[in-house]
Each structure stands twice: as C-alpha cells, then as structure tokens.
Structure 1
Amino acid sequence: MQRSLISLAVMALLGLSAGAPTLAAAPAAKAAQVTTQLPRTAVPTHYALSLTPDAANSRFSATVTIALDVKQTTSSLTLNAADLKFSAAALSAGPGKAPQAASKIDVDNDKQTATFHFADALKPGSYQLKLDYTGVIGTQASGLFSLDYENGGAKQRALYTQFENSDARRMIPSWDEPFYKATFALEATIPAGQMAVSNMPVTSTTKLADGRELVRFATSPKMSTYLLFFGLGEFERATAVQDGVELGVVTQKGALGQAQFALDSSRDVLKEYNDYFGVKYPLPKLDNIAAPGRSQFFSAMENWGAIFTFENSILLNPRVATQSDKEASFLVAAHEMAHQWFGDLVTMAWWDDLWLNEGFATWMETRTTTRLHPEWNWDLRTVGIREGAMELDALATTHPVVQRIATVEQASQAFDNITYSKGASVIRMLENYVGEDAWRAGVRSYMAKHAYGNTVSDDLWREVEKAAHKPVTAIAHDFTLQPGVPLIRVADAVCKNGKTTIQLTQGEFSKDQDNKKPLSWRVPVIAQTIGNASARTLVSGGKGSLTLPGCGAVLVNADQTGYYRTLYTPKAFGALAGSFASMSTIDQLGLLSESWAMGLAGLMPASSFMDLANNAPANAAPEVWQKIAGTLAGLHDSYEGKPEQRAALDRFARAKLAPVLARIGWEASKDEAGPVANLRETLIVALGEVGDEGVIAEARRRYAASATDPSAMPAALRQPILGVIAANADVATWDQLRAAAKAEQSNLIKSQLYDLLGAASDKALAQRALDLALTDEPDATAGASIISHVASNHPDLAFDYALSHREQVEKIVDGASRSRYFPGLGRRSADPAMIGKLQAYAKDNLPPEAQGDVKRAISAIEYRIKVRTQRLPQITDWLKQHAV
C-alpha cells in the first residue's frame, strides 16, 4: 500500500475455478506460532459472498457461506465483524445435512467481533457457516465506501473497498487476519449498465427480472482477507496483454485517455517482475482501478489482481501533468505490482512483519524505476529514502523494523517511514553486501517455497543466506530487530606507500539522547579515496579498519548503500568538501545529507552544509541543486519570527538559486531531461518561498495571462506557478482560485485547486480555508486534505481548529488514520505549547496503544525547538560572514 453476492449452489461456490493457479501451496506454519486475536478453534478455507449494494442509501445486504474446519470441540464460532447487523446464522456439516441455527449471536463492538453460539457442540471436522446480514457504505476509505464526483456536470457515485489493514470485517464477517488465508467466490447484484470489478475476471452476467444484473467472478486463489476488492460504478476499462495476463486500467467514464501511460507501465513492470521473481504472476488479469478523491492515509492499495489507486497518483491529465507526476505514476505501478508477490502471493504471518510487504515494495519500486527508466536517475532518490527513515529512527520514539503489534490500532500506525523507508534501505544494503545475483536467487527461492503461504522475516533471511553463503541473518537481525541508526566515526587517515588506512569506530546517532549508550551493529562499510577504487569491511564488535588504494580525501559509505551515519574529523571533512566537485552525484547528495543531519544534531558545525552549498559547482547535477533548494527553503521556515535573520538567509538563497533557474530557463528545451524539468519545478517554488521578486512577478504575469492565453501556463509549469500564486495570495486572488475550483470539471484538477486554498501564507486566508474545509463545497475526501495543507504553514492554527471541530473532522478522515491525522497536523509546530496540547489530546481521545504518532510528533517538535535555539545561531553567524 503507498497506502460483493445470492443464489449459487453452495457446492459450486465452494469449488475452485478451472483457472486456479497450479503452484503448490506452502505448508502452513503452526497456528500457535502466529499472533491472533480470535479463538484458535476454527479456520476458514473458502468464502462464498453474495453482495447487494444500495449506493443511493449507503447500505448493503449480503449473504456469505464460509467453509471452515473446526480444530477443537467448541460450542461457538467467533469472527471479526464491524458495523454489521445479522438477521440469520446457520451451520451445516455438508450437503444434505440439516443446518443448525445459531442459538445466540453476540456482537462486541469494541473488539469488532461477532460470536455465534450453537446448542450442539461442534466436533472437529468440516462445516459451512451461512450468514445473512446488512452493513453500511461509508464515505471514507474504510470497508465498502462511496466516492461522489461530477462527470460532465452530472453527479455520480462509485463504490470501492479498502480493507488493509483490518477493515474487511466491515463488509464480510471473517477471520480478518493475514494468517487466515482462504479462497473467495464473489457475486454481486448491481444496477444495469454499471461495471463491477474484483480480484478475478467476470465469469457471467445475468439480467434479473427487476432490471438489475447479477455479476459473478471467478474464484480467487488462496489469499488474506485484506486483499479482497470490489468496485462498482460508471467505469471504462483500457486493456493490454503481457505474458498471457490481461492488464487493465479502470477509470471513470471520459478519463480513459489519461490512463495510457499507466497501462504501458504495467506491461513493462509485469515483464520485469515475472523475470525477477522467478514465479510468474499467477492470476489471469491485473487491473489498476483509478478513483476520484483521496485519502490522508494512503494513495494506492495492492489488492491481488485489482490494485486500487486514487487517480491523482496514477492518471496523467495533459492539462496539468508534470514530469514528477509521470514519475509518480510509474512508481505507483512498480510499488503496488511488487506487492502482487511480496504481500499477496507470500504474506507476512502477522503485522509484526509488515515490512516484508512495504519495505520490499519500496525497494523494488526504486530498483525497477532505475532499471526501466534510467534517464530519470532514480537511483539517486535512494539517499532521500534513507534520510526519511533516519529522520524518525534517530529519535527516542523510534521502533524496530520488525515490531511487536498487539492491536488493530497499532497495526494502522505501523505504516510509517521505518517500515517503508528503513526497510527498503536495509534491503539495499544487504543486497549490496551479498551481491545482486545471490540476493535475487534467495528471493526466488523464498517465493517458490512460500507461495500462497505466510512467513516471518527469518524465512527470507534463511533463503538469502543459503544462496549467498554469507552470514546475512546476523546482520539483518541487527538492523531489523533493534531500532536506531549506527554511527561510524572515522579517524584521520594515514597514507603510506600509495595506500590509505583508516580506523573506524561504531557508535549510535541520536538526535535527542545525547548520552545514550550505543547499541551494537555489524555494519557493512564501503569506503574509497576520491577517484580510486573502493574497499569493503564489516565493522563488528564496535571497531574496524580499512586499507584503501590511493591517497587523498576519504569517503565512507561510498555509493551510499549503507544504513548508517558517518562522522569525520574536521580535517577529513574539510578534505571532502574540497573534493566535492569531483565526487559522483550520489555521493554529493550523501555528503550534503550527512552534513545537514550531523550539523543539526550538534556533531558537526551546523554551517557545514552551508559551506558545501556555497561551493557547489554551477554545473552540479539537477538532483544536487534540488537538495540545496529544498534545504534552504526549509531553513526559511526555521527562521519563523526572526525577520532580520530570515532576510539574510533569503538573500543567500536567492543569490545561489536564481542563477540556476536563469540557466535552465522557464521554458523546457527540446528533449530536456526529466531531472531538469523536476529541478525547474523545485526552483520556482523555492524561490517563491524565499521572496524572489522576479519569480513571483513572472508567476503572477503568467497566471494573469493564462486567462486568455493557455500557453502562458503550460502543464509543466502549472503546478509550481499556482503554488507560488497560492502561497502569496491576497483576498482577491484567493477568491479567484476558489471560483476556479468550483467551476472545474476535472475531479483531479478540482482537488488540486482546493488544496491550494489551504496553502496561503496569510493567516486570515488560512482561516477561511479551514472554514471551507468543513462545508459541503469540496467533496467528502477533500476537506481533510485542505486542513493538512493549512497545517504546512500554520500548524498551530490547523491543529486548534481541527480539535475544536473534532467530530466534524473525524467524519472526513479515514477511520484507520484518525489517531494519526491530528498529531500530523501539529507535528510541524515549534511552539512548546503544542506539546501540552498533543498530550491532552492523546489522554482524552486515544488508548495507550494508539498514541505512537502523538509521541513521535512531540519528539519532532522538541527537536525542532532544540534546532532553532541551539543550531540556527551558527547558521546566522555563517550568513553574516558570507553576506550577499
């Protein structure tokens, strides 16, 4: 994740379809070894679900027949169920056997379970449990939900499902945990003329006497409940075939032309993955369903054979799509399709090992984008992925990659940068340690051995270790079973006879625990003297050494594959800074990131980054200038409330960045490289942020001219220009943007325009955006996004407003992300009072197990305050010495 059915004979519904996959299923792990919140007395093998949605009234009715095996004598069966009302429940021991009606049904809303009691004890054996029930169609992405949108001036309503991590129970009473895999046969009674989509292809469509249609889908392979999908609406579908699989992109009517790139990407990615994993994609089709609206929690979900994606993450509207949008669309395909193997074919046994899904999909998306689109230089993004993880991992509130999950709420909070980005970074390091071929061989063996089964992390390490003939498990355990970031201290190098020797010491990098006793890691380290070949060692027991060919500046973590921080002596860092221009681009990005993080943590002068930025060559790679621009824009925010110091920073930023924009220009050159287009976007926004009058004036000129000349604001410039316009909006401009949002026919563009209303720097306009967010004017999923955009500039205002309207706000936020949404609004604050507000919010509204995001937000605020009081003065002094 990046973030439907009556009247079939029971025996037909319980049978596998002729097209079922033929790979042997892995032997199941012992249930006693896997966490569960349900009694272990029974396990399901198949669900036959008949769904009748009533979209207009936001209700549905359903019947499900569940084939199950009772393992221990019991008089009751307990399943997960949420917001379901049961009208009948009966159990039979097979065809021809008299059903036994439930004597009592107990529904526990807090535990989200339904228990069906029976007068006669159920002895071990096979049974069928038939349940009749009704449920609710929500307006946010939890369970079965609706999305309203306009199409050609007509209002439409489409239905979709979102079940991860634990919301299948809102549509189907089930053993709603990843270990309880089963097959699914789905049928739905739908309005005539609409399209229904699920994991498997449609096998038949029957017209009913009342004018509706009964749609039946093929039986799915064995899979976890959270991967089941159903969609219904006024859809269109584009298709292509690759390796015998029908690929599809499903959109609202009229938007199919925006799906071609996504369809082409799916073909390329499927071919790549079939080869890489050594196990071909086993379903007959794979759809990507593009939906209007958005979620504050996720952008796409890897339902097997039916990936759900919000359209702003995958469709390319030619009016507004930029190079970065194109890259994001491909990335979604690469990430979610990786899940078809890591997550769907082989699934973690419990949410403790969620990273087996998300860390691997994040790693595969980068690897695959680099391989299939080398012109995008996506391998350079691995530095940013690592930095995103370390930002959280160096705080006291971090957690291990493999973490103990006890509740549904904790599972929801596990979808964070530690799970995704640290997981991906550790994989990249281990792949580099054992070699690409050995790593792939281990992954292939893992896939073949555990297909259709469930695993824990050690199952993977075992296969990689066999393939690599290296002690991978010990290193993997160090980086996944304990939290934190290793710190490699580098002593001054000694050069003799054309070779350089360095001594390495392992500690721990912490941003908020100055005297923390360091944990111990076995750290694979790669180093080089600039311009020479690299050498490797494994720092174990806290110490290590390396002898490198050549003399000169020494770079540790060459090629940036390691997950650790590096601390140089001032002399060694000075030598590296002097060699900055001759480094590879990825190492330039690594050194910039290292100096910034170390400076803010007080382990190096905070001005170290400024020295590098000041001496960056004019012809440095676009990604290097993007990094510099983004950091300087962030510093602008850090000087909030200090106008003189901010003005000095802004003058420096304009002096460094404006010539770069002048060199590449506002208009794209013929055959311009994608990274240059991305840099232009970044520079326009960053220069607007630091008050570059020329950029702001040009943005305003183009915005005004676009009313009569569309070429004044081409698609590649539209988003950055409007970003500058919105940030600097006055009342008249804000009203103009709002009018454009109301009049816009494209749902994707409409959402973008409403988000811009929340980006105003002016506090009064930000307040207007907050008030607008809770009206019916934006669609049901846009309000929460507007509030989040206000929080980017006005976190205290947004948090206070949301909390004072908590009941209204909770209605427009996904149920799975409510405990994360409110602290997310406040985490950008630098006001000590926000800490008390967050603590009070958690105390009044959240159980202890759901307070992880609150704690992390508080840590972020405390560190931000520390940086502003203790580190910014060093940068201020540097700016005085380098006044422009």
Structure 2
Amino acid sequence: MSSQALPHINFTWIILFLFFFRVQGSEKLTFHRLPDNVQPIHYDIHLVCDMQNFSYVGTQRVDVKVLEPTRTVIVNSEGLEIKTVSYKNNDTLLVAQKIDDFDAEEKIVINFEKDLEATSKGTLIFEFKGVINEKLNGFYRSKYISEGKTKYAAVTQFAPTDARRCFPCWDEPKLKATFDVSLTIDKHLNALSNMEIRTEISSNSLKTISFHTTPVMSTYLVAIMISDYDFIESSVGNTSVRVHASKEKISQGEFALQVGTKSLQFFENYFNIPFPLKKIDLIALADFSFSAMENWGMITFREAVLLVDFQNSSTSKKQKAALTIAHEMAHQWFGNLVTMEWWTHLWLNEGYASFMENLCIDNLYPEYDVWAQFLNTKFIKALDLDALDNTHPIEVPVQNPSEITEIFDQISYNKGASIIRMIHNYIGTEDFRKGMTLYLNRYIYSNVETDDLWRALEETSKKPINRIMSSWTRLKGFPLVSVTEKSSNDSNTRIFSLTQERFLINGSIDKTNNTWMIPITFCSAENPEKVFKTIIFDEKHTDIAIEDVPEKIWVKINCGTIGFFRTLYSNDLMKLFIPAIRSSTLPAFDRLGLLDDFFATVVAGRASTVEYLKMLKEFKDETDYNVWLCILNHLKKIGHILSKVESLHEKFKSFGRELLSNVYSKLRWNSSYNENQLDTLLRISILSQLVSFEDKDIINEAKRRFDMHINKQNILPADFREFVYKAVLSDGGTDTFEKILTLFKETDNSEEKNRILASLGAVKDMNLLQRTLEFSMSKQVRAQDTVKAIHSVTMSYSGQLLAWQYFKNNVNLFIDCCQSGTLLTIIVDVVTSGIVSEEVMQEVKEFFEKTNVPGTKRTVEQSLETIRLNLDWLSRDTKAIEDFLNVQ
C-alpha cells in the first residue's frame, strides 16, 4: 500500500487516546479538558418528559465547527443512554460506528468510519435517554406538597459540571453556544427555561413548548423547569420579573419580587448595560443543593432562602433572602454575560457577586447595615480558612469535577469578595464602577481570566492594579503586619516600624518568604473616621514617619478593617487602644477588627487566652451588634475546646454569663418602639448565647414561652424560636424532644423545619442525640437539610464524637444521598473539624486514607489541621485559663 492510499491519521489523537486509557495500578487518571478540534455553535434540544416514570427521551442537533479532519468526536456525557449519533454536512450523512464510554472522565468518544472534513459548519445529531433523578444534580426531581397532594417538579442544576447528566455536550465554560430548548410534557403542567416561550402546541394529553433562542452562553447556565407552580410578576422596563412557587406558598414571594425588581434595576444602572433578556424568573424549590443558582433568565433558589413568610420568617432570614437574590442578579452580568474561561477563575464569578450583593443591598436597604455584617459573615470566615496551611490560592488549578466542587468554598466566595472590597476602597467608587463597565463591555458574551479584570481596573484608575493584586490571587494565605513604634529624634514625628510575613494559624513560620503588595491606611485618635495616610507596603520591612500626631495617642493601620490581612501591635501600642474601646470612640469596624486580630494571634500561640479574656472585660459595655457577634463567635470557639474538660467548661460558662450581663440588662426580651434591625439581631444573639451558657433565668423564661407557644396561647416570634427550642431541649428529656419533633412534622414551612433541625442537638441524652442523627438521614428530612441536624449534635464534646462515629459507620449512605454540590464536603467538615481528641484525630486520618469520599480531600486535610490546632491550643493554655477563671 502506498502512502497515498493511507487514510488521514491525526497523531495527536492517537497519543491522547493512549493517555486516556492508560491504567497505572489504582492511580486516579488525570482529567483532561475537551479537545478543541470540534466546537459547538448551536444546540437544538428536544426532551420528551415522562413525569410518571421520571424519565425522558432526548433528540439533539448540535451545529459544530470542525477545525481539522477527524474520525472521533469527544463530548461530555454522564449517566445517559446514548442510542445513536450521526453527523450531517450538506448532503453527507455519517452514522457513528461505535460510541465508547469513558466513565472515569465523564466523556464519550464517538467514532466515525470516515473523517469529518474540516468545514465551517456541520451538525451532530444525538438520540438519547435519561432519568429525572433524585440526586439534586443534572435533571432531577423535587418533591413538594400542593393541594394536599405530593407532587414533583422536574428541574435542572448544571453548575459546575452537570449539564452532561441531562444531554451530551461540551460541558466547559469556554465552549459557549446558543441554545434552542423545546419540551414535550403533560398538558396540565407548565414549563420554564432561560428564555420566554416561543410556541406552545397541544396534542391529546401532551403539549410541546418551544423557547426562544438564548444568547451565546455556557452549558452550566442552561435551565429547565417543569411543574404546576403559580407565579406573581412585576417588570423593569421591558423585562418581566416573576417569582414562582407552589400555589399555597406563592404569597410568600412578594418580598422576593420586590428585591428582584429593585436589584435588577440597580445593576442595570450600575453597569450601564441593560439586562439582555426579556424575562427573569426566580423559582423556589423544596429540594435544592445550593442556596441558589444564577441560570441566565431562570434563577433557582432553595425555598427556605427565597420565600419570606412575615409571620414565620426571622429578621436574619429576610436579610439573607435579599442578599442571595442580589448575588444571583449580579451574576446575570458578572458570570453570565462575561464568563470565566475555566474553573480556575471561579472566584471571578463568585467573589465578585459576593461583593456586589452587599453593594446592592446597602443601596436598596441601608437599614440592614450589611457592610458592617460583612466582616463577620464573609471577611473573618475567609481569614480563618485562609490562615490554615491547607488553604489554596484564589486562582487554583482544577481539573476533575470533584476538585471543581471543592473550590466552591470560603476562599472563592469570601476571600474573593474581601479582596474586591479592598481594591474598591483603594481605587475609589467611581473608578471602580467605570472599570467594571469597561470590563463587561470589552468581553461581552465571551470568556475571561483574572488578569482581564485587573487590566480594565488599571485603565480606569491609572493605578498598578495588576501588580498589586497578583499576589492576592496567586499566593495562598495572607500577611500578618506587625507594628511597633521606634524612638524618634524629632518630637513632632513618630516612627512606626512595619513587618510583614504570612500568617499561619498553627503558629509556624512560612518558609516561602513571600510578600504581598498591601494597601495600608493610617488613622488616629485625633480623627478616628479619617484616613490621613495611605501607602503600598511591598517589602518585608519598612519604617513610616508620621508627623503631627501627638505621642501617647493611638494610631491604627487598616482603618475600617478593609485590608485582607491581620495586624499584630506591640504591647505598648495595644494599650493605647483600651480607653477608646471603653468609650467606643474607636469606630465599631475598628474595634471588631482589632479584637479579631488579637484573637487570631491567641489561637496561633502568639498571645495567651487569658490575655484575650482580660481584654474582653473592656468590652462589657459594648452595644454594637457586629462587635458582639465577633465576641460571641470567639466565646463559642473557646467553649468548644474547653468542653472536653467539664469542670473548666462550667467555670467558663459562668464567666460568659457575667460578661453578657450588662448588654442583656439593656435589651432583655422585648423590643422597644422603632427599634433598629441590628438591635433586634443583637437581642437574639445574646439570648441565644445565654441559653448556651445555661443561664437558668433565661431557660426558665424560654420554657414558659414555649408552653404558651405549643398551647397556641401566644405564638413565639420567629426570631425567638430557634434559641427557645434549644433552651427547652437542653433542660428536657424524651417528652420535650417528641414535642419538638411534632412541630417539625406539622409544619410545611421550610424555615421552621430548619430551625427545629438546628435545635435538636441541644438535648443532653445520648440516646436522643443518636435519634437526631438517625432522623437527619430519614426520608422526613430533605437531603440539603441533613447537615443542620448533624451540626446541632456536634455542638457538645460528646455529640461531636457521636456524630463522627455515625458518619463513619454510615459513610456509604452519606455518599449516596449527599454527593450533589457541596453537601458532602460540608458534612465531612462538620463531623470532623470540631474533634478535640488525639486518638480520634488519628482515627479520622486513617479512615479517609482507606475510604474514598469523593470531593473531600482538601476538606479532610483542613479538618486534621484544625484538630491539631485545637489540641495544641488546649494543651498550651488550659492551666492558665483555669487559674484565671478560679479567681473570677
């Protein structure tokens, strides 16, 4: 045979296939991104859905570009039965000779007898079958009660990598296309997708609904919903805004509709870019693994997040609903209109949306004071995780689906939001907004990497943003800035010495010698709210001369706690803050930041717990909600490690009751006329903590109010219910437990169910704690809510160990029911990270070495590090804490 008779051979694909199918013992195969020789242009998807048998039949035509001749096409597919695949180009029709499943990489390899010739356009035609599953991912079913009947909605959750579970596709963010979706469903049902309905044709008992063509978009944003839901609607300009829920609950969508319309308008004005679709739906789902998902034009939410029942919803729930809606609305531009190139840049989606939700809600509902709450809800949580040695950079290379799922964490969301907040403050509000608009217009309908954002901000601000921010996204961790004061020869000048190093919560010294470019602000007691100096600190050490600031008054860096770093002051400088803390002349943001930085140095072993407890006494007259929330979080952490030593734990609770006595005496149980929202939240937090500290008066009053509640004499305010339930359970037995379970079974309110689940672990009886764990995995509890009950059990030392044993003994059950989204990762964290036992730590380590729990590798490493950290902390400070508490 001469060379001219040989068929076209692409040697790249030979090498790729050899690599795909290589097996090396039990090693996990490396994942690869899809080849780029065949690329999608347009999908035409038709699904015939059988809601009785929870299955569907699909036909799909995909217009593609074939960039080089090939006999193989590789696409993503998982759990689908692919019946046939063919390729049509002009008059040529090729039928696939063989379809190979490559399950390990969630791909199929489609083999043709002849080459697909390089051409501008051809069409791949797929016929396939699928299941409407129970796994909360791909195309799944959600159970709800309506008109007294159990019903099911069919809905999709494709992010990050589950569109492939519904239809074969190029399931990567960069491989954008347009989509036509049509659904054949039972005539009595309704259907939604990303776009508005184009046609609806009925035939016998079925109808086929076709939707308009989408803009160019990524597969993870495609969405479908089939149900008999009702809706309420409003509009913003020519865009229809609708909230969808079951008929009985649609009235609870009014607040969501209000926030949805206001936030849509806010973002259109902020970006100066109109929303590109004609409608946007906000849908409440009973079963949903995430809080919400930003599908373009069809946003899905967990029902307990979206719906607000003004009789049964708490103050914090209403606020969470507003922030979550704003977060998903921000994604319609930042993530949907402009999309990350690959999941390495996930933070561009989630960090930015987490920042913008606060910017939006602060504008729409200033009474929420969300930026003050941001410090506790996002900023500190990110610092705590990022201080671990087993953290990861914001930009982290990921490949397989389990790795991708793992980075939906505090780093991508909350550290991302925090560094955006830092650069927003450094650039200034207007230049930042102009940079965002430039970025969105420049990359509209396309894909980006992190540097594309920095370049846009650099252009509008004329500041070296790329150089400053690269260290914050590419290095793991963050800096600790140590501040001391040096003697000065000039009586009019004070000299402050700054040193930076990576802060590690385990107290070790970082060996990488990395430095960050840190925007450092200075303020002083002369004008606490005013920044009088800003520098970029990019060396290991520098001395800063400050003029005209009198000696012996405080000077603080990181004014307003904006910068994503921690600060350690010398003892002399720290003492200067004490009078300002007592008098509250140091602003609340700075009191909070100062205290949390000090607490972090205690955990790291750079200061003692006793020093911290002494400092807390200076906050006894504190009145700010956010400062108190920070203090209460610290007290919970100290209390948790001390719970291993029962006698010491009792003394600590007594210390806590005394510390909270002044603030409680001002607030008590009843709100005052026209009380602001933060005082309401403070009351709830203080009463809840006093229940944890076993304050007898509080528990007795809670029991009295609970009895009136269950007897329908005086219904508890929604804000009080969770801590009241905990109070009566903590002092009760089986009868009380059964009463609370009855409340759970009798309500159809998702928020109320969650409150009850979060309280069950307050019981002290080990048999009842075991029942709580078993109940959490029963059919009576939705999969996404399981973790609430398990977490409640881990609030005590004995409960933590029990929860770990239960997980270990039932690991396959957990893997089967909770693998969607981040549920399994969260559960692993909950049952392991709070352990305070050397023996059990070793047990955890050995268990996960032998047991494959998908998508939890980094979480387990972080948990083991946290256990070691807490054990070292307890060993280091127990004696001193005991001596201190004995004299209180």
TM-score, normalised to structure 2's length? 0.92
User: After alignment, is 726-735 or 278-287 more displaced?
Assistant: 726-735
Q: 1:307 to 1:672 in 2, by over 3 A?
A: same
State the AA in 1 paired with 2:671.
Answer: A
SS of residue paired to 2:52:
helix
**Matches of residues 511-530 of structure 1 in structure 2 within 5 Å?**
511-517=505-511, 518-530=513-525
CA distance in 1, matches of 2:545, 2:608: 27
SS of residue paired to 1:232:
strand
Q: 1:232 to 1:575 in 2, by over 3 A?
A: same
The alignment status of 1:805 with 2:810, answered yes or no, reads yes
Check whether the contact 1:360–1:427 (CA below 8 A) recurs between aligned residues.
Answer: yes
The alignment status of 1:192 with 2:183, answered yes or no, reads no
State the AA in 1 paired with 2:275.
Answer: Y
**Matches of residues 125-144 of structure 1 in structure 2 within 5 Å?**
125=119, 126-144=121-139
**Matches of residues 238-257 of structure 1 in structure 2 within 5 Å?**
238-257=232-251
Q: 2:200 aligns with which of 174, 183, 205?
A: 205
Listed one character per residue, the Cα deviations across residues 590-648 of structure 1 (whole Å, up to 9, x for unaligned) are 11111111111122233343233212252522222232233223322221132222222
The alignment status of 1:168 with 2:163, answered yes or no, reads yes
CA distance in 2, matches of 1:844, 1:819: 17
Q: Which residue of 2 aligns with 1:569?
A: 570
User: After alignment, is 502-511 or 222-231 more displaced?
Assistant: 502-511
SS of residue paired to 1:110:
helix
Listed one character per residue, the Cα deviations across residues 89-140 of structure 1 (whole Å, up to 9, x for unaligned) are 111014xx24221111111211111111111101111111111111122213
Check whether the contact 2:623–2:663 (CA below 8 A) recurs between aligned residues.
Answer: no
Check whether the contact 1:49–1:187 (CA below 8 A) recurs between aligned residues.
Answer: yes
**Matches of residues 238-637 of structure 1 in structure 2 within 5 Å?**
238-295=232-289, 298-384=290-376, 385-492=378-485, 499-517=493-511, 518-532=513-527, 533-534=530-531, 535-544=533-542, 545-547=544-546, 549-551=548-550, 552-580=553-581, 581-616=584-619, 618=621, 620-637=623-640
State the AA in 1 paired with 2:324.
Answer: V
CA distance in 2, matches of 1:792, 1:181: 46
Listed one character per residue, the Cα deviations across residues 138-159 of structure 1 (whole Å, up to 9, x for unaligned) are 2132111112122343111112
Deviation at 1:819, TM superposition (A): 5.3
Q: Which residue of 2 aligns with 1:54?
A: 50
User: After alignment, is 51-60 or 520-529 more displaced?
Assistant: 51-60
State the AA in 2 paired with 1:59.
Answer: S
Check whether the contact 1:529–1:548 (CA below 8 A) recurs between aligned residues.
Answer: no
The structure with higher relative contact order (CA 8 Å, sep 6+) is 1
Q: Which residue of 2 aligns with 1:858?
A: 864
Deviation at 1:786, TM superposition (A): 3.0
Check whether the contact 1:293–1:751 (CA below 8 A) recurs between aligned residues.
Answer: no
State the AA in 2 paired with 1:833.
Answer: E
State the AA in 2 paired with 1:151.
Answer: S
User: After alignment, is 563-572 or 638-647 more displaced?
Assistant: 638-647
Q: Which residue of 2 aligns with 1:29?
A: none
Deviation at 1:398, TM superposition (A): 1.1
Q: 1:113 aligns with which of 107, 118, 125?
A: 107
The alignment status of 1:222 with 2:216, answered yes or no, reads yes
State the AA in 2 paired with 1:128.
Answer: T
Deviation at 1:526, TM superposition (A): 0.7
Listed one character per residue, the Cα deviations across residues 733-773 of structure 1 (whole Å, up to 9, x for unaligned) are 11111122222233443344344334534322110112223
Check whether the contact 1:823–1:838 (CA below 8 A) recurs between aligned residues.
Answer: no
CA distance in 2, matches of 1:834, 1:280: 56
CA distance in 1, matches of 2:577, 2:463: 33
Deviation at 1:48, TM superposition (A): 0.7
Check whether the contact 1:654–1:692 (CA below 8 A) recurs between aligned residues.
Answer: yes
Check whether the contact 1:150–1:747 (CA below 8 A) recurs between aligned residues.
Answer: no
Check whether the contact 2:644–2:836 (CA below 8 A) recurs between aligned residues.
Answer: no
RMSD of aligned Cα (Å): 2.1
Q: Structure 2: where are the runs of 5+ without partners?
A: 1-30
CA distance in 1, matches of 2:737, 2:140: 32
SS of residue paired to 1:615:
helix
Q: 1:692 to 1:850 in 2, by over 3 A?
A: closer
CA distance in 2, matches of 1:304, 1:710: 47
Q: 2:875 aligns with which of 843, 852, 869?
A: 869
Check whether the contact 1:401–1:481 (CA below 8 A) recurs between aligned residues.
Answer: yes
The alignment status of 1:733 with 2:736, answered yes or no, reads yes
CA distance in 2, matches of 1:678, 1:571: 35
TM-score, normalised to structure 1's length? 0.92
Check whether the contact 2:515–2:539 (CA below 8 A) recurs between aligned residues.
Answer: yes
Q: 1:766 to 1:788 in 2, by over 3 A?
A: same
Deviation at 1:397, TM superposition (A): 0.5
CA distance in 1, matches of 2:49, 2:683: 47
CA distance in 1, matches of 2:786, 2:539: 52
Check whether the contact 2:722–2:758 (CA below 8 A) recurs between aligned residues.
Answer: no
Deviation at 1:559, TM superposition (A): 1.0
Check whether the contact 2:754–2:785 (CA below 8 A) recurs between aligned residues.
Answer: yes
Check whether the contact 1:784–1:809 (CA below 8 A) recurs between aligned residues.
Answer: no
SS of residue paired to 1:355:
helix
The alignment status of 1:153 with 2:148, answered yes or no, reads yes
Check whether the contact 1:630–1:682 (CA below 8 A) recurs between aligned residues.
Answer: no
Q: 1:470 to 1:799 in 2, by over 3 A?
A: same
CA distance in 2, matches of 1:420, 1:782: 21
SS of residue paired to 1:57:
coil
Listed one character per residue, the Cα deviations across residues 676-733 of structure 1 (whole Å, up to 9, x for unaligned) are 1111111121100011011111111111111234534122322332233344441111
State the AA in 2 paired with 1:719.
Answer: E
Listed one character per residue, the Cα deviations across residues 240-281 of structure 1 (whole Å, up to 9, x for unaligned) are 111321111111111111111111111221121112222221
CA distance in 2, matches of 1:411, 1:113: 16
State the AA in 1 paired with 2:130.
Answer: G
CA distance in 1, matches of 2:51, 2:814: 23
User: After alignment, is 704-713 or 638-647 more displaced?
Assistant: 704-713
Q: Which residue of 2 aligns with 1:28?
A: none
Q: 1:539 to 1:577 in 2, by over 3 A?
A: same
CA distance in 2, matches of 1:299, 1:272: 22
**Matches of residues 655-734 of structure 1 in structure 2 within 5 Å?**
655-734=658-737
Q: Which residue of 1 aligns with 2:831?
A: 825
CA distance in 1, matches of 2:333, 2:726: 38
State the AA in 2 paired with 1:280.
Answer: P
Check whether the contact 1:355–1:419 (CA below 8 A) recurs between aligned residues.
Answer: yes
The alignment status of 1:87 with 2:83, answered yes or no, reads yes
Identical-pair percentage: 27
Check whether the contact 1:346–1:447 (CA below 8 A) recurs between aligned residues.
Answer: yes
Check whether the contact 1:487–1:506 (CA below 8 A) recurs between aligned residues.
Answer: yes
Q: Which residue of 1 aligns with 2:6?
A: none
CA distance in 2, matches of 1:549, 1:761: 60
Q: Which residue of 1 aligns with 2:9?
A: none
CA distance in 2, matches of 1:199, 1:727: 48
Check whether the contact 1:795–1:827 (CA below 8 A) recurs between aligned residues.
Answer: no
SS of residue paired to 2:710:
coil
State the AA in 1 paired with 2:676.
Answer: A
Q: How many residues align?
A: 843
State the AA in 2 paired with 1:258.
Answer: Q
Listed one character per residue, the Cα deviations across residues 288-342 of structure 1 (whole Å, up to 9, x for unaligned) are 11111353xx211111111111011121123321110111010101111111111
Deviation at 1:175, TM superposition (A): 0.3
CA distance in 2, matches of 1:152, 1:638: 49
